[in-house]
């Protein structure tokens, strides 16, 4: 497997400038991928600095093990979902960290690798699992859920206007035969929306199924909630997201943690004063430069938000 098969790290310099506050600290890359961000972090640390990196994909662990081998024990790679962040760190003796980076979404390799069943551009078995150890995959989802469940998934996670019509077409197809491949699913979607908006519709449908299969938004919320308590004072959390659903979760989590009071909900009762745990460092999300967007199409939708532990 080639390193080039993984995506180029997005907003690398911007992310590291916000993330690293001490070169001898303990850092976490919660989304290892091909190791691009991890390598850049380790290059900026002195020999006492440590990076723990997580990824559910064994291919990512394999690729990055070679890429980061020269850093020796400074790089700790763990095949695990970031929803298990607290337990991964506590098992390795880290009760406080100086920074954590999330680069969300899927890598180019995961999209392009036929065996993973993520892409509508090839005819491959429906899968979409980031972690092959889990039983629940897209094949099971598409062939099990009833029409209403499917429509709700496509609308909630893909914001797809034709969600109900597509769900109806899927369930009708299942009456004749099981939907086995990405190509079959794409053909069903095409039968509903036609050619004009097909690519964008397919992108939304496949995104929605992938998010549901991997419980991406629930896992993100859990990981963010775990990250804040384990940050040392002055430690940073940096998140790069690629669609509005992810960005909304990050924005609202940071906003709650930075609040100095909570509304009582009753005009006769004063607001509840609280001690904020975060200071937001990015009033508006940072986006890639024009040059980066031209060189790396994945950067076009990227939004970076950062906060500091108080």
Domain ranges within the chain, ordered by starting residue? 3-109+216-309, 121-214
On whether the 3-109+216-309 domain is CATH 3.20.20.140, my answer is: no
pLDDT for residue 255: 97
Nearest-10 crossing angle of helices 36-44, 58-67 = 40
Compute how many other C-beta atoms are within 10 angstroms of the C-beta atom of residue 43: 9
pLDDT for residue 252: 98
Q: Which residue ranges in the chain fall short of pLDDT 70?
A: 1-7, 107-118
pLDDT for residue 105: 77
pTM of the predicted protein model: 0.92
* Largest Cα span, the chain: 64
Looking up tokens 């509304």 gives: 263
Chosen CATH of 121-214 out of 3.40.50.300, 1.10.150.170, 2.40.50.140, 3.40.250.10: 1.10.150.170
pLDDT for residue 125: 92
**Cα-Cα-Cα-Cα dihedral of 189, 194, 195, 200, to 10°?**
-50
> What b/e string do you get for 206-220 counting C-beta neighbours within 10 Å, with b at 16 or more?
bbbbbbbbbebbebb
pLDDT for residue 4: 47
Q: What is the C-alpha separation between 238 and 240, in angstroms, rounded?
A: 7
């Amino acid at each position: 497997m080639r390193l080039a098969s993984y995506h180029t790290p997005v907003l690398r310099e911007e992310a590291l400038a916000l993330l690293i506050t001490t070169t001898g600290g303990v850092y976490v890359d919660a989304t290892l991928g091909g190791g691009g961000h991890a390598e850049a972090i380790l290059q900026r640390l002195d020999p006492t600095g440590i990076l723990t990196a997580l990824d559910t994909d064994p291919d990512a662990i394999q690729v990055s093990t070679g890429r980061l081998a020269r850093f020796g024990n400074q790089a700790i790679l763990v095949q695990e979902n970031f929803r298990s962040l607290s337990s991964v760190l506590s098992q390795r003796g880290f009760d406080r960290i100086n920074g954590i980076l999330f680069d969300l979404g899927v890598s180019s390799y995961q999209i392009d690798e036929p065996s993973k069943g993520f892409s509508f551009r090839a005819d491959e078995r429906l899968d979409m699992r980031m972690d092959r150890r889990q039983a629940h995959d897209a094949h099971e989802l598409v062939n099990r859920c009833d029409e209403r469940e499917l429509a709700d998934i496509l609308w909630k996670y893909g914001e797809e206007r034709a969600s109900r019509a597509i769900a109806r077409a899927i369930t009708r197809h299942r009456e004749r035969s099981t939907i086995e491949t990405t190509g079959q699913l794409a053909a069903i979607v095409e039968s509903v929306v036609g050619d004009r908006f097909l690519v964008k519709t397919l992108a939304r449908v496949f995104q929605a199924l992938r998010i549901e299969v991997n419980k991406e938004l629930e896992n993100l919320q859990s990981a963010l909630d775990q990250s804040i308590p384990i940050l040392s004072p002055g430690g940073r959390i940096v998140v790069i997201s690629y669609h509005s659903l992810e960005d909304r979760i990050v924005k609202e989590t940071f906003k709650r943690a930075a609040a100095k009071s909570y509304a009582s909900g009753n005009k006769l009762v004063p607001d509840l004063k609280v001690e904020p745990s975060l200071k937001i460092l990015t009033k508006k999300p940072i986006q890639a430069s024009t040059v980066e967007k031209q060189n790396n199409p994945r950067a076009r939708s990227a939004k970076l938000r950062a906060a500091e532990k108080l």
